[in-house]
Structure 1
């Protein structure tokens, strides 16, 4: 298509034309003669009759008509046939030419010259070869008015009053029409709007002046300004302003085929040149260009510029702008895919501001329903949503929750479009609102359950249900032993509510979760009834996380002792409770009345831990005074085997140690002596009462070596040991008692002590090694019968009574000569009171 038809061509156009004559045939209107196929000509008969009965007195003959018929174009002149047998009959002469040839011709005057000029049939009806000139017929006075009327795209034809000069208007208009528009151009006489029933309808009609009233509301040429008011009208008149529109049409590859397209073409031109550079205007222009130029290979340069403009505007488009694209067809644009790619990018990079939620929900609705948008738009939007769904950051996830709150029915289409993965689930969980309408939450709950996305399920149920009910729903959805979403289902619960729910529900997974809360805040266990399995299980779970949770119950010790009583009596006790508490201060069973029954019921680590704690508790209390309770055999053995016992004894005061050892009948004497030596080491002070307790212990246990140890201490200068020795006096020899002044000694006891020492040193008797004679005595004075001890007893009695010599002092001195290192002999020899005593 050219910008403006050339007024002259280098070659004339030869056209083959068939003729046909129509008129009265057997009392009616029909085909009388035809030079070409009669069947084709016969089809034209109805259109070459009067359109309706002519009103009486109305002048209308002759009139020119033209219209396309299949691949031919028909030009005809019709006259009133005064020779007909009845009134109102017409005579029509038609030329039938190939449509494709005729639309290339600008000047129809040679053809119209071949039509009959009077109501007389041509002499011959034969094919014609007509050479059409290329000159433009002159523009008639009413051409601008006709162009303006035709360019307004109003319903019905443009109406010219009067048939005189109608031929010139048609010739003038035809010459200036675009070839494609000529293809459908039809014109004729009309008596009123009611006779226009054919397809295509005539675009231009002439009507008798007398019938002007019938055309009220229609585009009459006499009411239209003769000056072109639009570029479309200017293009029809050949005005120079029309060249802009023609150039634009060439640029976009548009080929107007009907007058109604001219306003569309002008609007598209205005939108791309004069109108504000907005995306709305650009989208409207794209729609118009698509309609005007549907062939993608035509107008590629103009279309490319328009697309580039749209792509640029899409970068800053709003959701409302994008919605206007949803039914945009762009098959006429060779590179339309760039728009859909840009739309996908726009959607994928969107931050989904809350202010645009209404538009986004509408966009998603349209994108997920095939009847509401084009395939390309849907694919671009859904592709962008998938990209956004898999983009890090919370924007899309936040938007999803808002969208389904606004329209719950979007949940499944949106889920399907997003193609969610684990990362998106995580973002949805993180951004889940605290509350949602049940209708909205239920959709997400159902999806999460079906997809086995348990964390999302937990977050979703928390938005619409009270904590306990949300937890029940979560536990019902998750298979045992999984509970990934349970904590999320309780995210709106207080710790107190979570603990209470765990008791009410009793599910182990719920117990474990509430145990975490109780571990952090043990006071949550304060008012629970620990005679129930659920409460015991909760306490057990909290202990696994934090052993300090033992303090949670109002009376922890009573609760534990009650559980131990149940255990002893064979009633159920939560598995792990005893184990957990065996590592807390409650493990000291010092005050548990049925402790001795428990040991036989326990085994393994629990037995060891409770035993160790009770032993430690007993030792700790014992270190501060008397042992607090009697140790049963199991505990006695445990105390004695305690690897820390000796170390602890070394840190205690002596009185406490004696109390501990007293409570342990099996405590070994050697072990006690080791402690005693350490406790009595230089610089260590033991109070008299403690020494006395040590002596009583040695006496009670008949610890002979301990007594000897004590006696040795005294001999080596430890005078503070005397209370111990006095306490175990029955186990101390008379000589030691006398020598160390531990108790009063009678004369008989003193002589008895000397007798014992003499018999030990000289077992054969007083004359052993001639001792008696060396001391100044006479052997004849000694008894010669009996044992050495007996003879010593008799000899010393005589010395005591002064009946024999030697004197006692001389005897002791001689004995010292034999045993100079013997301290007892020295003691006796130096004790003048004894040696002089008689």
Structure 2
């Protein structure tokens, strides 16, 4: 093995520099000069530091040196250094460092002017372990990677030799040691592995990595390796599987930890730690593929049992040194899909939402896995996710906003979110909940939040400002889900919103009491009442005084005030359509909508009939109502009811000036066919009605069809006497004509029967008279009959009785002839019945 030598010390005019070297390439030797001087000025009062050894790698060489104080130097503090320069690849495989120290000058007096290379054969290590090796190993395994500090110079060479023996080639290539006067002079990069320092300077090393020379046992696995108590082979194999060099104590610590994690019973935490260590140790995805793939597979298999807290820890697993991590992130996604969000810690859940949307807090792959899982979970039914989201509200507004941004923008997801909302929410800031919902255009959820945070009035007032689609009412209902039915009605009146109006009407169906106090002066009240009736017709009587409410509506109609015209249509199908007692009824028929007016009329007809059935008073009706009554079946039915007195029925007809005579005749006929006898006052009432209406046909009909058999009609016909001919009145005993009246009536009768005169068909001669007694035929039949009857009446030869008998032979069915034939004034005898 070839070893180059060099001597460094005071050089005239240049301070510390290269004095002589065995190397042909003196530039390398010259470049080492600054590395082989003192690290700093010698502190005052410090003298027991010389000589000291040092060793360090530089490029492809390793330098070992011993430095002395130079008493012959031109100024104090100058040093002489003898250095051995060896190829690093050769020294890395030498276990015995002592023989190299033996090659260094032992005093400042030995420094020659010329040097030549040394040719040595490495010997086997004969040195025994240094007694302070365990203490040094403990310090070198410092987790912070700080330089180990050996107080004193004595024994430092032996300690280095003992350490070197337990190192492996890669670590030897980076191992360095030297003297240091204070922490301030340890500025090398990399820092020396271990330094010695005069004991008098101990105060300067407080809180530094001092070697506790009283350590009896290795304090870590790394210390055990460094002091030869543990085999480094497994760690070297691990480094080899990662295709990396174990060339530093820091690397040793990390690989030892990784080896421990991989050797332990596998759990998620161990494997996560292993992943992180592997990532830190090997960032080249093309190196250590087998180990890395195995790690991904192992942790992927265990993630199904991972806790949410463990999943959160994975958020910064960049794993750029791994070729394919898809299997692990799929496992993370599946695990989140199967989480019970009702059991997880709320703080962890809040963090999950926040991290999953923030690129500064979590890597892309983790965020994608979590978001994909949350979207899947959102579609599960039932899903505990939504209650979990709401539980995060008091903890962090950012968590709620993050969760909402992840959820799929669908109506069913919004519905699930609304179903899970608590009755009461206490967010730090309400707008922090509303803003993400509005961004998602989840108006229903927006209303639900308002309903859980604010009073019903405040909630609906705010909701209406943003919930402007009148075709959708779910948001309004969500905002008012804690409102009473009465409040909903009050808000409908206040805000005049069609959705509130519709909802209030629905509530009125099952809670009619909310309409109890309405006066119907407000058009919104009218609309709510109308809609409730449309849904349930019996709700027409929901107001405490429905008639007064209706009348208020009608007064507004009459005054031209705005009203709900459709309410008029709806009420037309309820008992309130009966306007019989409505104020200014006679003016309403022209104001009511044409399509409903008839229904109101018909209902009012029934109202009038019902009232008229209970009373005999007569009233004057407006033409519209009267015409409707006259043409209604209700009137006909009432007039036919046997339970209603004749007096009442006649009064009903009397109240109807347009009641037709032919209808009266029909009704009177039915009445007289079913009622006998009628009372005197009732007959008189019938007579007064017919007389006042000048119903002559009705009078004659009663006289001809009923009076001959109904003496109880006499009071009726007596009143109407002037409408009867004298004969009918005489026949019915209603009037008593004089003899002259009778002879005049007979004259009219015979003129009708024998218009040409008494000799028609030889009547006169057949009755026993002489035709020469008659006026000649040049006279009219009326004149000739007048003359002939006067002769009979004055006692002529032909008797009236004979004439009557002959005429009866010609007209045996003539009632008038029969009557005259039995009258004493005509026969001139006391009244006695003839054979017929």
- TM-score band, normalised by the shorter chain? 0.7 to 0.9
Tell me what 2:830 maps to.
Answer: 837
CA offset at residue 287 of structure 1? 2.6
Matched, 1:427 2:416: yes
Query: Aligned equivalents of 1:495 and 1:569: distance in 2?
Result: 32
The residue correspondences of 1:26-65 to structure 2 (distance < 5 A) are 26=12, 28-34=15-21, 35=23, 37-51=25-39, 53=42, 63-65=52-54
Post-superposition Cα deviations, 1:807-832, rounded to whole Å, max 9, x if no partner, equal 62x54443343234445556666899
Identify which of 292, 295, 302 aligns with 1:303.
292
SS at structure 1 position matched to 2:345: helix
1:137-179 Cα deviation digits (max 9, x unpaired): 7773556665455335466545668878866764564454344
> Match of 1:594?
584
For the pair 1:467 / 2:459, whether they are aligned, the reply is: no
What secondary structure sits across from 1:315 in the alignment? helix
Tell me if structure 2 keeps the 8 A contact 1:161–1:222. no
Aligned equivalents of 1:124, 1:679: Cα separation in 2? 165
603, 621, 637: which is aligned to 1:613? 603
**How far apart, in 1, do the equivalents of 2:203 and 2:349 lie?**
54
**Within 2, Cα distance between the matches of 1:302 and 1:727?**
131
- In 2, Cα distance between equivalents of 1:38 and 1:691: 161
Q: Does 1:665 align with 2:657?
A: yes
TM-score, structure 2 normalization? 0.81
Relative to structure 1, is the Cα distance of residues 723 and 356 closer, same or farther in structure 2, using a 3 angstrom cutoff?
A: farther
Does the aligned pair in 1 maintain the 2:53–2:67 contact within 8 Å?
Answer: yes
Paired residue for 1:486? Answer: 476
Q: 1:220 to 1:567 in 2, by over 3 A?
A: closer
Question: Judging changes above 3 Å, is the alpha-carbon distance between structure 1 residues 437 and 795 closer, same or farther for their aligned structure 2 residues?
Answer: farther
Deviations 1:49-96 (A, max 9, x none): 355649989777665422123454323344566776677654433344
Q: How do 1:205-604 and structure 2 match up within 5 A?
A: 205=195, 220=211, 222-225=213-216, 230-236=220-226, 241-251=231-241, 255-274=245-264, 278-353=267-342, 356-389=345-378, 393=382, 395-418=384-407, 420-437=409-426, 439-448=428-437, 453-479=442-468, 484=473, 485-506=475-496, 510-511=500-501, 513-518=503-508, 520-531=510-521, 535-536=525-526, 539=529, 548-573=538-563, 576-602=566-592, 604=594
Task: Please give the alpha-carbon distance, in whole angstroms, between the structure 2 residues aligned to 1:721 and 1:183.
Answer: 149
Q: Using a 3 Å threshold, how does the CA distance of structure 1 residues 255 and 753 change in structure 2: closer, same or farther?
A: farther
Give the match's secondary structure for 2:392: helix
Aligned residues: 816
Paired with 2:581 and 2:243, the residues of 1 have a C-alpha distance of 104
Determine the C-alpha separation between the residues in 2 that align with 1:757 and 1:138: 181
Alpha-carbon contact 1:25-1:31 (below 8 Å) kept: yes
Is the 1:782–1:795 Cα contact (8 Å) retained in structure 2? yes
Q: Which SS does the other structure have where 1:30 is aligned?
A: strand
Q: Secondary structure at the match of 1:435?
A: coil
The structure-2 alpha-carbon separation of the partners of 1:285 and 1:719, relative to structure 1 and needing over 3 Å to count, comes to farther
**3-state DSSP class of the match of 1:325?**
helix
1:794 and 1:30, CA in 2 relative to 1: closer, same or farther beyond 3 A?
same
Deviations, residues 485-533 of structure 1 (Å, cap 9, x unaligned) = 3333322221222223334445566555544444554432333454455
CA distance in 2, matches of 1:628, 1:452: 68
CA distance in 2 between counterparts of 1:126 and 1:638 reads 145
The more displaced of 42-51 and 235-244 is 235-244
1:166 to 1:431, Cα distance in 2 relative to 1, 3 A: closer
Q: Match for residue 150 of structure 1?
A: 140
After superposition, what is the alpha-carbon deviation per residue over 1:701-724, rounded to whole angstroms, capped at 9, x for unaligned?
Answer: 344443454345438978887776
Q: 1:182 is matched with which residue: 172, 197, 202?
A: 172
Cα deviation for residue 398 of structure 1 reads: 3.0
Gaps of 5+ in 2: 832-836
Q: Secondary structure at the match of 1:296?
A: coil
Q: Determine the structure 2 residue equivalent to 1:23.
A: 9
Q: Measure, in 1, the Cα distance between the counterparts of 2:69 and 2:122.
A: 29
Q: Is the 8 A contact 2:268 2:299 kept in 1?
A: yes
Q: CA deviation at 1:675?
A: 5.2
Alignment CA distance shift 1:380-1:355 (3 Å): closer
State the TM-score, normalized to the length of structure 1: 0.81
Task: Tell me the CA shift for residue 186 of structure 1.
Answer: 1.0
Gaps of at least 5 residues in structure 1 are: 1-13
8 Å Cα contact 2:130-2:162 kept in structure 1: no
- In structure 1, C-alpha distance between the alignment counterparts of 2:576 and 2:505, rounded to whole Å: 19
Aligned to 2:834: none
CA distance in structure 2 between the partners assigned to 1:525 and 1:125 by the alignment:
119
Taking a change above 3 Å as real, the CA distance of residues 721 and 231 of structure 1, as seen in their structure-2 partners, is farther
CA distance in 2, matches of 1:589, 1:535: 21
- Look up the SS of the partner of 1:589 in the other structure: coil
> How far, CA to CA, are the matches of 1:646 and 1:103 in structure 2?
135
Secondary structure at 1:324 match in 2: helix
C-alpha contact (below 8 Å) 1:531/1:563 kept by paired residues? yes
Contact 2:170 2:246 in 1 (8 A): yes
Alpha-carbon deviation of 1:630? 1.9
**Equivalent residues of 1:542, 1:549 under 8 A apart:** yes
Distance 1:648 1:127 in 2: 148
Cα distance between partner residues in 2 of 1:365 and 1:287: 22
Alpha-carbon shift at residue 671 of structure 1 (Å): 4.4
CA separation of 1:675 and 1:271: change in aligned 2, threshold 3 A: farther
1:774 to 766, 776, 780: 766
Alignment of 1:88-237 (within 5 A): 90-97=79-86, 99=88, 101-102=89-90, 105-107=93-95, 112=100, 115-119=103-107, 120-121=110-111, 125=115, 140=129, 142=131, 146-153=136-143, 156-158=146-148, 170=160, 173-174=163-164, 176-189=166-179, 196-205=186-195, 220=211, 222-225=213-216, 230-236=220-226
1:401-446 per-position Cα deviation (integer Å, ceiling 9, x unaligned): 3323332344544443446343333333333333333654333334
What is aligned with 1:701?
693
SS at match of 1:66: strand
Q: Which whole-Å deviations, capped at 9, do the CAs of 1:713-746 have from their partners, x for residues lacking one? A: 438978887776566454344444555x453655
In structure 1, C-alpha distance between the alignment counterparts of 2:206 and 2:592, rounded to whole Å = 113
For residues 430 and 683 of structure 2, the distance between their equivalents in structure 1, rounded to whole angstroms, comes to 81
Q: Deviations over 1:230-268 (max 9, x none)?
A: 543444466665444444555566643322343443333
Rounded to whole Å, the distance in 1 between the matches of 2:824 and 2:288 is 152
Contact 2:451/2:479 (CA < 8 Å) preserved in 1? yes
The separation in 2 between residues aligned to 1:161 and 1:123, in whole angstroms, is 34
SS at match of 1:321: helix
Instruction: From the superposition, tell whether residues 295 and 224 of structure 1 become closer, same or farther in structure 2 (CA, over 3 Å).
Output: farther
Matches of 2:451 and 2:86, distance apart in 1:
80
- Is the alpha carbon distance of 1:716 and 1:263 closer, same or farther for their aligned partners in structure 2, counting shifts above 3 Å? farther
CA contact (8 A) 1:475 1:483 kept: no
Sort the Cα spacing of 1:715 and 1:302 in 2 relative to 1 into closer, same or farther, 3 A: same
Cα RMSD for the two superposed structures? 4.7
Mean CA deviation greater in 593-602 or 162-171: 162-171
1: distance between equivalents of 2:677 and 2:440? 80
